[in-house]
Structures are given as structure tokens and as C-alpha cells.
Amino acid sequence: MSTRAKELITIAIIAVFSVVIYILKITGVMTGIEFSGTVSTIIIIAIFLALLVILIRTLRGHLVDRRTVFLFIAFSVALPLLMNISQKITVSGEVEQVYNAVIDLQPGSRVLVSFDYDPASAPELQPMAESFLRLCFMRDLKVIVMGLWPQGPQQAELAMSTILEDDEMKAKNIKYGIDYVNLGYQAGNEFVVQRMGSDFKSMFRKDYSGRAYDDLPLVKNVKNFSNIDYSFNLSAGYPGTQEWVQVAVDRYGLKMGGGNTAVQAPMMYTYLNAGQLEGLLGGMSGGAEFEYLANFTGKATKYMLSQSFAHMVVVAFIIIGNAAFFRSGREKKL
């Protein structure tokens, strides 16, 4: 069979699988599926034994193909989604800082949340967005949402619609324009932040749905950053937390915390340790730690099991790779 034919068959299988999963999801069949404790244990032992077999085979000179690595990653990410294993979350100082900053705010304080990411980073950042907004509303804070990425405000709308379905949120009777506002997207990257330092309205004459800035009770008296009590930036790259720190924090003295993808988070530690950033949620684990503090089991906590498994599998393959490397007298390439 030719490579092209194999590719087409693979695409067809994935397409059929996706359609089946989608149908199961919309019909509600997928919702209740969960492995029992015994099945979960059997799966974990099976994966561990399979990795052990691969290590032994590698030491005997049989190297595994990279497609085997892909298969293990697929299993280690997908299967834990159906497991019900609780993990002990250890909260790091930087996550606690964000939580404390929100808790210390008086009810009615204004919080600016900038959604600087697109759907590609949503699996990591959307859970953070949801738990952060949820905590803000639980504390009766007023939330102003915006985005320096075109898809950011739409991600904010998705997060908002998810949390507003919650019974606790419904009881709060959250109203658009009074309790939260979505100012939408504005092109111009850090220049938007710079102009907001002197005048919000110059950058957002209308909100996301087209209502005039002055018609929104929550923001009509917000002139610039001096009217904002805390800011939280959800960022997946440029423009993002770095630009906010350099302009809004350094120049205008805005208090700010960050929620970053795991890839970007290491860069933010320089700002965090210098005190320019008041707290940081890094990747899925940061989101899970925040959910733990906020006493809320969200997507980050659920997905952490997959991340734990995936990390373990990657570590195992690094060990296997090095075993092959040393066995072959430090020469063989995989």
C-alpha cells in the first residue's frame, strides 16, 4: 500500500472517529463514561509494564520506532480523561499570590482581564480564565474584559457563558454592563496598552457588542489604569504579559498577575521575582493550583491527570533513549 493511501485511510479513520465522538457528546452518551478504580489500576500497570518491556528490548538492542512514542503519548493523554483518580495538588507561591491579590480586593473593586490568546492555547488558558472570573464574581468584583488578540474577546465570551451557567453564579444575578463588560479587541499591540494608560475610551469607543463606552455604567467613569484595582493577563505569546508589564506595570503602576502557557511561563519568573508581576499561573498545573485554592473543581484539575501521565511517559522515554545511547557506546542515533 502506498504512503498516500495510508495517509488517506488514517484521515478517514480520524474523521469517522471525530464524528462518532461528536454524536456521542451531543446525545449525552459520553457524559457518564468513567473507568472504575480497578480498570484504572489495570491500565496504569499495563502502561508501566509496556514501558518496562520497551526498556528491556532497548537494552537488548531493539530500538522503538517514534510512532510507538506517539502511541504511548496518545494513550497517556486520552485514557486518564476517563479515570477518576484524585491527586494531591501542591500550591506554589506564585499561584497563591494571584489568589491572595483577588481575595484582598474589596467588593466592587474593578478587575481588568485581558484575553491575549486564541483557541490554540485555550486548553491551557481557558480553565484559568473560567476559574479566575468565577472567583472574581464570587467576591463581587467588577470585571472588565478586553483582548489584544483578535480571538481573545470571543474566548472571554465562551468563558463567561460557561461560568454563568453555574447555579452559584445564577444566584449572583450578574448583569452585563454593571458587573462585567467585554470591551472587545483593539489592534495595535502594546500601543493599545500605552493609550489605555491615558485614556481607555480612545481605544474602545464601543464594546464587543457595539454599545457606546459611555452607555456602560461599569466603565463610563473608568478613565485609565488609575481606576483599575487589579489586572490579570491571560497570555500565549506576543502581545501578552511581557508587554503589559513593560507598559502598564512599569509606566503606569498597574497591579498585575499573569496566567501563561507552560511554554511562556519561565520567561515571566524574571518579572515575578522583581515584584513587577503579582502572581503567576503557569500552564495547566498553575490553573489546577488556582482551582484548588478557589475550592472549585474545574477543567484544569480534571486534565492534570493526563498531564501527569504524559510527563511520566516522556520521562520514561528519555530514560529509554539514554539507555540506548549508553548501550551503543554513545554513538547510535535513534
Which residues lie near other proteins (CB under 8 A)?
A: 22, 66, 69-70, 72-74, 77, 87-90, 92-93, 118-123, 150-151, 154, 157-158, 161, 186-189, 191-192, 194-195, 198-199, 202-203, 208-210, 251, 262, 266-267, 269-270, 273, 283, 285, 304, 307-308, 310-315, 317-318, 320-322, 325-326, 330, 333-334
If we measure between CA atoms, which residue out of 225, 233, 296 comes closest to residue 264? 233
Tell me the residue length of the chain.
334
**Cβ neighbours of 100 (radius 10 Å):** 14
Q: How far is the CB of 289 from other proteins (least distance, A)?
A: 10
Of residues 109 and 224, the one with the C-beta less far from other proteins: 224
List, as own/partner pairs, every contact residues 63-71 make where C-beta atoms lie below 8 angstroms and the sequence separation is at least 24, other chains included.
63/324, 63/332, 63/334, 64/320, 66/334, 69/317
Q: How far is the CB of 107 from other proteins (least distance, A)?
A: 29
Residues 6+ apart with CB under 8 A from 198: 224
Of residues 108 and 318, the one with the C-beta less far from other proteins: 318
CA neighbours closer than 13 Å in the CB half-sphere of residue 19: 5
Q: How far is the CB of 65 from other proteins (least distance, A)?
A: 10
The residue behind cell 452559584 is: 168
Beta strands in 197-265 (DSSP E): 230-235, 256-260
Q: How far is the CB of 284 from other proteins (least distance, A)?
A: 9
Alpha-carbon distances, residue 185 vs 21, 71, 203, 219, 232 (angstroms): 33, 39, 9, 16, 16
Of residues 9 and 85, the one with the C-beta less far from other proteins: 85
Of residues 16 and 318, the one with the C-beta less far from other proteins: 318
Contact, 111 vs 231, CB < 8 A? yes
Q: How far is the CB of 106 from other proteins (least distance, A)?
A: 30
Q: How far is the CB of 322 from other proteins (least distance, A)?
A: 6
**Cβ neighbours of 247 (radius 10 Å):** 22
Of residues 104 and 199, the one with the C-beta less far from other proteins: 199
Contact, 137 vs 111, CB < 8 A? no
Of residues 105 and 148, the one with the C-beta less far from other proteins: 148
CA R_g for the chain: 23
Q: How far is the CB of 108 from other proteins (least distance, A)?
A: 28
Of residues 217 and 266, the one with the C-beta less far from other proteins: 266
Edge-to-edge strands, sheet with 230-235:
180-185, 142-147, 110-116, 230-235, 256-260, 280-282
Of residues 42 and 267, the one with the C-beta less far from other proteins: 267
Q: How far is the CB of 202 from other proteins (least distance, A)?
A: 7
Q: Round to whole Å and give the CA distance between 173 and 170.
A: 5
Q: Round to whole Å and give the CA distance between 65 and 59.
A: 15
